[in-house]
Amino acid sequence: MSNLLTASIGRKLLMSVSGLFLILFLFVHLTLNSFLLLDKVLGFKEVGQMFNAGVHFMGTNPLIKVIEPMLALGFLIHIIYSVILTVQNMKARGPQSYASGNKTSDVEFASQNMLVLGIVIFSFLAVHIMNFYMRMKGFITWEAGEVEFPFFGSMAKGENAYALVHETFKVLPIVLLYIVGSVALAFHLSHGFWSSFQTIGWNNSKWMPRLKCLSNILAIILGGGFSVIALAQYLFF
């Protein structure tokens, strides 16, 4: 029994740590994506140059090559353990329950629906990886070609990633899909962030309200940020 308990706590811990790692990735990703909107503000001559420079930096940086497999592992751990914990929890307490929350009316929407939100995000991610990652890495052909952009004081050549994103966000259903994915992400994070700290053991009465508040801020920045970028590309670029 105590072994089972330890294993269960260990699994929750792995989910928490992988989740926090993924949040770090999302901040870096949002920062890079914000370049899609910032060329004019930051004095770049042509729209898209700043994003292309950012993508080039990420694609040629040796550190990113090390982090990329870690990121994939982080997603795998997070997804696999969410399924294991859910099944384990259903077996233990019946089909209505889920590890992160009970089904009473006072528990907020996100905590009751973490698995469903996770499935929505996963589905979004599958489309997203096909849209961008598979094309950028050459698994699916695309024809945007190479462009020049300023890169640390001189000019560099690289793939026109901006053209790919720009074309993708000209299609309204895709923009709507990104908004749905980002809103699901926001709800998922609004519970997942503070819940991770609770699992780690940082759950005293002074810090919990602060962490819950921070979770909401984080959810708005990340969910709102990704949505606004997709919508702004559709409407204004």
Would you count residue 179 as binding ligand HEM (CB under 6 A)? no
**Integer Rg of the chain from CA:** 20
Tokens 């923009």 sit on residue: 175
Kindly indicate which of the ranges 106-114, 141-149, 180-188, 190-198 contains the residues binding ligand HEM, using the contact rule CB under 6 A. Answer: 180-188
Query: According to CB under 6 A, which residues from 18 to 47 bind ligand HEM?
Result: 29, 33
Query: What phi and psi values does residue 155 have, to the nearest 5 degrees?
Result: -95, 145
Tokens 């690289």 sit on residue: 158
Whether the Cβ atoms of residue 165 and residue 68 lie closer than 8 Å to each other = no
- From candidates 165, 175, 179, 219, binder to ligand HEM by CB under 6 A: 165
- The total number of residues written for the chain in this structure: 237
Kindly indicate which of the ranges 92-100, 121-129, 194-202, 206-214 contains the residues binding ligand HEM, using the contact rule CB under 6 A. Answer: 121-129
Kindly indicate which of the ranges 8-16, 42-50, 84-92, 130-138 contains the residues binding ligand HEM, using the contact rule CB under 6 A. Answer: 130-138
Neighbours of 115 (CB within 10 A): 17
| C-alpha span between 78 and 189 (Å, rounded) | 13
Would you count residue 49 as binding ligand HEM (CB under 6 A)? no
Would you count residue 160 as binding ligand HEM (CB under 6 A)? no
Whether the Cβ atoms of residue 89 and residue 163 lie closer than 8 Å to each other = no
Contact residues for ligand HEM (CB under 6 A)? 29, 33, 55, 58-59, 71, 121, 125, 128, 132-133, 136-137, 161, 165, 178, 181-182, 185, 226, 229-230
